[in-house]
């Protein structure tokens, strides 16, 4: 048990003033909009990645009114590449509720903030502490790690019992009222200090205890268990799924529907605000003469579910009933023995995407499927080219993706655009106007460079 709990808050506050982070784009403000946005973006995403997205987002949507008035499609376009897209959908819904139910002003207590979409207890507490000085505890992933080590909390830190213990510790550690009266910025400093400690000092591996203001009382440090706490999560065996993505391209001159695509987004403003990856896509598309006169077929996913509301590529599956306008994530049971063997050797990375180097098994299996699909959809004599297979990891499963380039040479009889608007032919130089997940952005980037 740690000894000097009453001093914990003051030590964190003093340390934050001297050694904490002070120049992040969402700091030095009490604007709930900017702080809320940063807290949502920082969930499951590193600070270094968030900074660029945050700056582009606030340029595009400077306040809650502009965000609430935007289309979800514009919001997703600004979010494209950041992942965990439910966050963007909740962000949009939250902005609309703040305008509709709170007259455009964020509520000022953690309790009321939690009633808004996408705002959980720790995020609500962080906003309330930073913006309104409320004495309320936070418990994000980094802070859990600090408390587990400092208090020597054993057990699975994701289990309900341990989380309850940690919330109790967090409440006990919150600055007392007298401290916040004496130091009006105490809650903001303390909250930021805990975040900074977790991110820069009490890191997952090899914590820098020698720089930590809590080291003299830290149970993990004193008992030599910094490598054992928090208890490592039990490794889950992630299900493996697979799919074939079709990058269907055709020449532009007789593009029947493509011109409508260029009007879908709020054009130039959006172009300037898209992610780094999409900006690269834009510049490649605009400079690559070979692909400049081509269009590709994009598929808009349903609003909810994997990559909800984003534009991706049509997919096909093993069975013969594929409907090009399907609203399902079409995963298959392809014989992926070789792919699995190689994919399992890969280590996780920040992008959650792995290139699969030995693709012969999936290539030969999937070519037949793609040929059958083309026949079924009246695509005559297409040029087929397999692209590099890769694995993308979602929260709950790995998805093996075998992309195929399908170049349409004779399009008589092929019309993928049905009554709904989930399919669009898009000129290569307009692709950057569509919000896409990172793996699809990368595929299209490769395509424009072929
Ligand atoms: S002393 Fe080390 S293990 Fe303990 S809280 Fe500080 S950095 Fe983490």
Residues 104, 64: contact at Cβ < 8 Å?
Answer: yes
Integer angstrom CA distances of residue 119 from 36, 110, 336, 408: 9, 9, 40, 46
Ligand 1 and 209: CB distance under 6 A: yes
pLDDT at residue number 277: 53
Q: Domain containing 130 — which CATH number? A: 1.10.340.30
Residue 120 domain-assigned (yes or no) = yes
Nearest 5°: the CA angle 326, 330, 331 is 170
Residue 285 domain-assigned (yes or no) = yes
Domain boundary residue, one of 189, 222, 255: 222
Ramachandran assignment for 388, one of left (phi > 0), alpha (psi -120 to 50 degrees), beta (any other): beta
Ligand 1 and 213: CB distance under 6 A: no
Domain boundary residue, one of 222, 253, 283: 222
Residues 412, 249: contact at Cβ < 8 Å?
Answer: no
Catalytic-labelled residue, pool 39, 73, 134, 315: 39
Distance, in Å, from the CA atom of 56 to the CA atom of 82, rounded to the nearest integer, reads 12
203 and 275 inside one domain:
no
Distance, in Å, from the CA atom of 56 to the CA atom of 194, rounded to the nearest integer, reads 27
Compute the distance from residue 202 Cα to the ligand 1 centre, in Å.
5
214 and 251 inside one domain:
no
Residue 229 domain-assigned (yes or no) = no
Distance, in Å, from the CA atom of 109 to the CA atom of 132, rounded to the nearest integer, reads 8
Integer angstrom CA distances of residue 273 from 45, 87, 367: 19, 18, 38
Q: Domain containing 412 — which CATH number? A: 3.90.79.10
pLDDT means per 10 residues in the chain (450 residues)? 68 98 97 98 95 98 98 96 94 98 98 98 98 98 97 94 97 95 97 97 97 97 97 86 92 54 33 46 52 87 91 76 33 35 34 55 78 87 91 90 90 65 88 93 83
Ligand 1 and 202: CB distance under 6 A: yes
133 and 249 inside one domain:
no
Supply 227's token pair: 């490598």
Supply 426's token pair: 């898009």
Residue 37 domain-assigned (yes or no) = yes
pLDDT at residue number 9: 97
Distance, in Å, from the CA atom of 431 to the CA atom of 408, rounded to the nearest integer, reads 19
Mutate to test the pocket of ligand 1, among 169, 220, 229 (most ligand atoms within 8 A of CB): 220
Compute the distance from residue 195 Cα to the ligand 1 centre, in Å.
13
Ligand 1 and 391: CB distance under 6 A: no
Compute the distance from residue 221 Cα to the ligand 1 centre, in Å.
6
54 and 202 inside one domain:
yes
Compute the distance from residue 2 Cα to the ligand 1 centre, in Å.
12
Encode pLDDT of 333-358 as tens digits. Answer: 333 333 333 333 333 333 456 655 55
38: part of which helix (H) or strand (E)?
helix 32-41
What is the atom index within ligand 1 of the atom nearest the CA of 201? 7
Residue 235 domain-assigned (yes or no) = no
359 and 442 inside one domain:
yes
Ligand 1 and 144: CB distance under 6 A: no
Specify the pairing of strand 311-312 against strand 315-316.
unpaired
Residues 57, 37: contact at Cβ < 8 Å?
Answer: yes
Residue 203 domain-assigned (yes or no) = yes
Q: Which has the closest alpha carbon to 27: 110, 140, 130, 135?
A: 130
Q: What does residue 85 show for φ and ψ, rounded to 5 degrees?
A: -70, -15
Supply 378's token pair: 């009246």
pLDDT at residue number 6: 58
188 and 276 inside one domain:
no
8: part of which helix (H) or strand (E)?
helix 5-19
Residue 332, classed as helix, strand or coil, is strand
Compute the distance from residue 170 Cα to the ligand 1 centre, in Å.
16
> Is the sign of the CA dihedral 284, 288, 291, 292 positive or negative?
positive
pLDDT at residue number 360: 60
Q: Which has the closest alpha carbon to 336: 294, 398, 252?
A: 398
What is the atom index within ligand 1 of the atom nearest the CA of 209? 2
Compute the distance from residue 218 Cα to the ligand 1 centre, in Å.
6
Ligand 1 and 221: CB distance under 6 A: yes
Residues 90, 118: contact at Cβ < 8 Å?
Answer: yes
Active site residue 407: no
What is the atom index within ligand 1 of the atom nearest the CA of 146? 5
Ligand 1 and 146: CB distance under 6 A: yes
The parent domain of residue 211 ranges over 5-222
Domain boundary residue, one of 222, 255, 281: 222
Integer angstrom CA distances of residue 209 from 201, 204, 206, 344, 450: 7, 12, 9, 35, 50
pLDDT at residue number 349: 33
188 and 250 inside one domain:
no
What is the atom index within ligand 1 of the atom nearest the CA of 207? 7
Ligand 1 and 219: CB distance under 6 A: no
**72-87 exposure pattern, b = at least 16 Cβ within 10 A, e = fewer:** bbbbbbbbbbbbebeb
320 and 207 inside one domain:
no
169 and 277 inside one domain:
no
Residue 322 domain-assigned (yes or no) = yes
Supply 273's token pair: 């605000």
Neighbours of 323 (CB within 10 A): 10
Ligand 1 and 207: CB distance under 6 A: yes
Ligand 1 and 214: CB distance under 6 A: yes
What is the atom index within ligand 1 of the atom nearest the CA of 219? 4
Q: What is the pTM of this model?
A: 0.81
293 and 211 inside one domain:
no
Number of domains in the chain: 2
Residue 153 domain-assigned (yes or no) = yes
204 and 348 inside one domain:
no
DSSP helix, strand, coil percent of the chain (3-state; round to 5): 45, 10, 40
pLDDT at residue number 346: 35
pLDDT at residue number 353: 61
Compute the distance from residue 149 Cα to the ligand 1 centre, in Å.
6
Neighbours of 387 (CB within 10 A): 18
Instruction: List the residue whose alpha carbon is closest to atom 8 of ligand 1.
Output: 202
Compute the distance from residue 3 Cα to the ligand 1 centre, in Å.
14
Encode pLDDT of 119-138 as tens digits. Answer: 999 999 999 999 999 999 99
211 and 97 inside one domain:
yes
Mutate to test the pocket of ligand 1, among 12, 19, 212 (most ligand atoms within 8 A of CB): 212
Instruction: List the residue whose alpha carbon is closest to atom 2 of ligand 1.
Output: 209
What residues have CB less than 8 Å from 248, skipping those under 6 apart? 296, 297, 313, 314, 406, 408, 416
């Amino acid at each position: 048990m740690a000894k000097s709990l009453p001093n914990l808050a003051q030590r964190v506050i003093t340390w934050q003033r001297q050694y904490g982070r002070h120049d992040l784009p969402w700091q030095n403000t009490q604007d709930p909009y900017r702080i809320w946005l940063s807290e949502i973006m920082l969930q499951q995403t590193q600070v270094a990645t968030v900074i660029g997205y945050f700056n582009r987002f606030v340029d595009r949507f400077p306040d809650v009114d502009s965000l609430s008035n935007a289309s979800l499609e514009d919001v997703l376009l600004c979010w494209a590449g950041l992942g965990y897209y439910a966050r963007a959908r909740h962000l949009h819904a939250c902005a609309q509720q703040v305008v509709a139910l709170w007259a455009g002003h964020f509520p000022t207590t953690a309790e009321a903030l939690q009633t808004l979409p996408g705002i959980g207890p720790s995020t609500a507490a962080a906003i309330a502490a930073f913006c309104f000085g409320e004495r309320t505890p936070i418990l994000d992933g980094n802070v859990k790690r600090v408390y587990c080590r400092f208090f020597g909390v054993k057990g699975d830190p994701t289990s309900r019992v341990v989380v309850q213990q940690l919330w109790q510790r967090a409440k006990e550690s919150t600055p007392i009222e007298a401290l916040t009266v004496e130091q009006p910025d105490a809650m903001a400093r303390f909250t930021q200090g805990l975040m900074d400690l977790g991110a820069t000092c009490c890191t997952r591996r090899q914590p820098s205890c020698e720089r930590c203001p809590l080291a003299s009382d830290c149970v993990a440090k004193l008992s030599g268990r910094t490598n054992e706490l928090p208890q490592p999560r039990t490794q889950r065996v992630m299900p493996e799924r697979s799919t074939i993505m079709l990058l269907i391209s055709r020449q532009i001159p007789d593009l029947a529907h493509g011109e409508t695509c260029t009007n879908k987004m709020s054009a130039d403003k959006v172009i300037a605000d898209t992610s780094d990856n999409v900006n690269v896509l834009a510049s490649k598309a605009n400079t690559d003469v070979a692909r400049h006169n081509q269009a590709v077929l994009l598929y808009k996913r349903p609003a909810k579910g994997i990559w909800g509301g984003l534009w991706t590529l049509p997919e096909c599956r093993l069975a013969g009933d594929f409907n090009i306008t399907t609203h399902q994530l079409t995963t298959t049971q392809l014989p992926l023995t070789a792919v699995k063997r190689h994919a399992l050797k890969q280590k996780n990375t920040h992008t959650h995407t792995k290139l699969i180097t030995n693709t012969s098994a999936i290539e030969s299996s999937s070519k037949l499927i793609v040929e059958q699909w083309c026949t079924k959809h009246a695509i005559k004599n297409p040029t087929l080219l397999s692209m590099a297979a890769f694995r993308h990891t979602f929260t709950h499963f790995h998805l093996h993706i075998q992309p195929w380039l399908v170049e349409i040479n004779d399009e008589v009889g092929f019309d993928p655009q049905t009554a709904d608007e989930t399919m669009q032919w898009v000129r290569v130089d307009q692709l950057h106007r569509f919000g896409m997940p990172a793996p699809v952005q990368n595929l299209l980037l490769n395509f424009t460079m072929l």
